[in-house]
C-alpha cells in the first residue's frame, strides 16, 4: 500500500501526494490543518524517523498552521498551538496552553491539568507524558506545553490534531467558563461540575437538583420528556442531575452543586426508563455519572445532535395537568430555557411525507411553492 507521506533523503524534503515540504530553519516542517486528513499517523512517524536518521536528530517538529487556507504562506505563516514532534522515536502531540493566571503557579496547575485531561485522553486512546513551562516564567502570560502520546493505529494525522485542539478547548473552557456542549461534557467527566456554577441554563443545558423518581411512571415519563426535548432540538443537549438552578429576571442560572445518591443500579435505571418511554432510541445517547467518593455524585445524560430522519422523538406517556396519561404520546423540543410542543400539523406533515415516499418513491410537492 502506498505511503501517504515519506521523507526523500536525496531532496531532503517530505513528499505527500503531488506536494512537498522542506525544513524551515526557524519553525521546522510546516503544514496546514487542511492537509492533515490525507496523511496516516504511522506514515508521518516513519517519515520523521527517516529525517531524524539523516540529520542525526533526537527531535524533529511538525508544525500545524490554522485558519484560512488563502492566508497560508509556507514561508511566513506562524504555527498554531498544536504541533506534532518526534522525540527519541516516539510521536508526540504537543499542545500549548496560555493561562490567564497573573502569578506563576508551578505547584498546583500541572496536577489540575492532569486530572482534568485524564478521562478525556483515556477515551481517545491517549496519555499525558509531560507538562512544562515553555516561556520565561517571570512575567505573564504563562504558556504551558503539554505532551500527549496517542495510539496511532488506524488514525490520520487530522485525528491527532483534533485530540490536541480539543484538549486545549477543554482547559480553556475550565479557566474562562465559556462553555460549549462538548467542553461541558468533558468537564463533567473530569469531575469539574463546579465550572458550571454561574452559567445559565439554555438551549443545550438543563439541570435538576434531585433524581427523577424512577419508581413511578411520572418520574420515568418526566425523564423521557427532558431527554426528548434535546433529541428533537437542533443542537442536542445535556441533562445534569445533581445541580441546583436559581431563577433570575433573565432566566435561570446554575446556583450550586447538590450531589445525588449513587449506587450500582443508578445508571441502569435511567437507561431502562428511556428505553421504555422514548422512541426511537437516540443515536449515541450516554448516561454517565461522576461519583464524589461518598456514594453520591452527579448524573448526566448526553444527547448528541440527532439525524433529522429520526425525528420526532416520541415519549410513550404524557403528563397532563399533573396527571399521568399512559396511553398518550407526547412530543416536545427545547427552545431556550424552556420547551415547546411539536404541533399536530407538524407531526402530520412528517407522517404524510413518509407515507408518500414509501408509496411513490418521492416526496409530495410543497403546495406553497
Residue 163 within a domain: yes
Chain segment 285-327, per-residue pLDDT in tens: 999 999 987 899 999 999 999 998 898 899 988 776 677 766 6
Instruction: Spell out the residues 6+ positions from residue 327 whose beta carbon is closer than 8 angstroms to its own.
Output: none
Let me know whether 241 and 138 are in one domain: no
Q: Phi/psi zone of residue 242: left (φ > 0), alpha (ψ -120 to 50 degrees), beta?
A: left
Chain segment 162-221, per-residue pLDDT in tens: 999 999 999 998 888 788 999 999 999 999 898 899 888 888 999 999 999 999 999 999
H or E segment at 227?
helix 217-231
CATH code at position 304:
3.30.950
Let me know whether 169 and 202 are in one domain: no
Round to whole Å and give the CA distance between 71 and 45: 28
Which of these three, 145, 176, 207, is where a domain ends?
Answer: 176
Residue 150 within a domain: yes
Mean pLDDT of 7-23: 93
Look at strands 205-208 and 237-241 and give their pairing: parallel
Residue 252 CA, chain-centre distance (Å), reads 24
Round to whole Å and give the CA distance between 28 and 121: 27
Residue 16 within a domain: yes
Whether the Cβ atoms of residue 66 and residue 33 lie closer than 8 Å to each other: yes
Let me know whether 140 and 18 are in one domain: yes
Between 101 and 78, the higher pLDDT residue: 78
pLDDT band, residue 340 (cuts 50/70/90): very low
Between 290 and 341, the higher pLDDT residue: 290
Instruction: Spell out the residues 6+ positions from residue 265 whose beta carbon is closer than 8 angstroms to its own.
Output: none
Mean pLDDT of 107-132: 90
Report the interhelical angle of 181-189 vs 157-176 (nearest 10°). Answer: 80
Count of domains for the chain: 2
pLDDT at 352: 67
Mean pLDDT of 140-151: 90
Let me know whether 219 and 281 are in one domain: yes
- Which residue range forms the structural domain that includes residue 335? 197-356
Instruction: Spell out the residues 6+ positions from residue 67 whose beta carbon is closer than 8 angstroms to its own.
Output: 80
pLDDT at 346: 62
Let me know whether 203 and 168 are in one domain: no
Per the listing, cell 540529520 goes with 55
In Å, what is the CA distance from 289 to each residue of 185, 190, 207, 274, 293?
11, 10, 14, 16, 12
Residue 74 within a domain: yes
Let me know whether 223 and 252 are in one domain: yes
Which of these three, 176, 208, 227, is where a domain ends?
Answer: 176
Using DSSP's 3-state secondary structure scheme, residue 51 falls into helix
Let me know whether 169 and 29 are in one domain: yes
Rounded to a whole number of angstroms, the CA Rg of the chain reads 25
Let me know whether 236 and 336 are in one domain: yes
Let me know whether 245 and 329 are in one domain: yes
Q: Which of these, 134, 179, 165, 133, lies nearest to 66 by C-alpha position? A: 165
Round to whole Å and give the CA distance between 182 and 166: 9
Q: What is the biggest distance separating any 2 CA atoms in the chain, rounded to whole angstroms? A: 79
Residue 185 within a domain: no
Let me know whether 153 and 249 are in one domain: no
Which of these three, 114, 146, 176, is where a domain ends?
Answer: 176
Let me know whether 213 and 133 are in one domain: no
Q: Which of these, 105, 313, 296, 150, lies nearest to 224 by C-alpha position? A: 313
Round to whole Å and give the CA distance between 252 and 245: 6
Using DSSP's 3-state secondary structure scheme, residue 296 falls into strand
Let me know whether 172 and 113 are in one domain: yes
Amino acid at each position: 500500500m502506498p505511503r501517504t507521506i515519506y521523507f526523500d533523503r536525496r531532496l531532503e524534503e517530505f513528499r505527500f501526494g503531488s506536494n512537498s515540504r522542506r525544513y524551515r530553519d526557524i519553525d521546522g516542517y510546516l503544514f496546514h490543518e487542511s492537509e492533515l486528513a490525507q496523511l496516516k499517523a504511522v506514515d508521518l512517524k516513519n517519515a520523521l524517523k527517516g529525517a531524524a536518521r539523516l540529520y542525526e536528530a533526537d527531535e524533529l517538529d511538525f508544525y500545524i498552521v490554522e485558519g484560512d487556507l488563502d492566508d497560508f504562506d509556507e514561508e511566513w505563516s506562524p504555527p498554531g498551538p498544536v504541533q506534532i514532534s518526534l522525540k527519541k522515536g516516539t510521536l508526540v502531540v504537543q499542545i500549548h496552553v496560555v493561562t490567564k493566571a497573573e502569578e506563576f503557579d508551578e505547584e498546583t496547575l500541572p496536577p489540575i491539568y492532569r486530572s482534568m485531561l485524564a478521562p478525556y485522553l483515556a477515551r481517545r486512546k491517549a496519555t499525558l507524558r509531560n507538562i512544562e513551562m515553555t516561556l520565561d516564567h517571570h512575567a505573564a502570560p504563562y504558556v504551558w506545553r503539554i505532551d500527549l502520546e496517542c495510539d496511532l493505529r488506524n488514525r490520520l494525522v487530522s485525528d491527532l490534531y483534533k485530540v490536541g485542539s480539543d484538549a486545549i478547548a477543554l482547559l480553556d473552557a475550565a479557566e474562562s467558563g465559556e462553555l460549549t456542549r462538548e467542553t461541558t461534557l468533558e468537564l463533567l467527566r473530569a469531575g469539574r461540575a463546579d465550572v458550571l456554577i454561574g452559567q445559565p441554563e439554555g438551549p443545550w443545558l438543563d439541570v435538576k437538583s434531585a433524581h427523577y423518581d424512577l419508581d413511578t411512571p411520572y418520574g420515568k415519563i418526566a425523564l423521557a420528556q427532558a431527554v426528548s426535548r434535546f433529541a428533537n432540538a437542533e443542537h442536542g443537549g445535556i441533562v445534569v442531575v445533581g445541580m441546583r438552578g436559581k431563577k433570575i429576571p433573565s432566566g435561570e442560572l446554575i446556583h450550586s452543586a447538590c450531589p445525588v445518591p449513587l449506587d450500582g443500579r443508578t445508571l441502569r435505571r435511567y437507561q431502562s426508563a428511556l428505553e421504555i418511554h422514548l422512541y426511537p432510541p437516540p443515536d449515541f445517547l450516554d448516561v454517565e455519572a461522576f461519583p464524589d467518593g461518598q456514594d453520591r455524585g452527579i448524573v448526566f445524560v448526553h444527547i448528541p445532535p440527532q439525524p433529522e430522519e429520526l425525528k420526532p422523538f416520541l415519549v410513550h406517556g404524557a403528563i397532563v395537568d399533573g396527571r399521568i396519561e399512559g396511553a398518550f404520546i407526547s412530543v416536545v423540543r427545547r427552545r431556550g430555557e424552556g420547551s415547546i410542543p411539536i404541533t399536530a400539523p407538524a407531526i402530520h406533515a412528517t407522517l404524510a411525507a413518509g407515507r408518500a415516499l414509501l408509496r411513490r418513491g418521492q416526496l409530495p410537492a410543497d403546495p406553497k411553492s
